[in-house]
Amino acid sequence: MSTRIYVSLIVMSLTVYAIRLIPFLFLRKPIKNVWFRSFLYYVPYVTLAVMTFPAILTATGNLWAGAVALAFGLVCAWISGDLFAVAITCCVSAFVMGILL
């Protein structure tokens, strides 16, 4: 393997480590800013949505089946709020739309 690969791995490792280390170094006191606390509260949900939204639309290879699965998933999430039920609803609706289209 070339040294470029090793350098890339070291840089990526240091970047990930720095992202995890910086909050521990600079945020020793509790965060009192209401806006910043609410921002940090929603970061995991936004990250999950950003990762799953394109996957839902492109998982079947058919955009319409993915769009229907997304719509059914949104309705199921609004009604029940259960992540497992939403996942099953999306999978079943994408499967059925894949068969119908």
Cα dihedral: 11, 14, 16, 21 (round 10): -160
Rounded distance between C-alpha atoms, residue 33 and residue 75, angstroms: 34
Which residue type does 45 have? Y
Provide, rounded to the nearest whole percent, the portion of the chain with pLDDT above 70: 99
pTM, whole model, 2 decimals? Answer: 0.57
54-88 per-position pLDDT tens digit: 888 888 888 888 899 989 999 999 998 788 998 89
Q: Phi-psi region for residue 30, left (φ > 0), alpha (ψ -120 to 50) or beta? A: beta
Statement: residue 1 has pLDDT above 80: no
Rounded average pLDDT over 38-45: 88
- Return the pLDDT at 88: 92
Q: Are 97 and 68 in contact (CB under 8 A)?
A: yes
Rounded average pLDDT over 42-56: 85
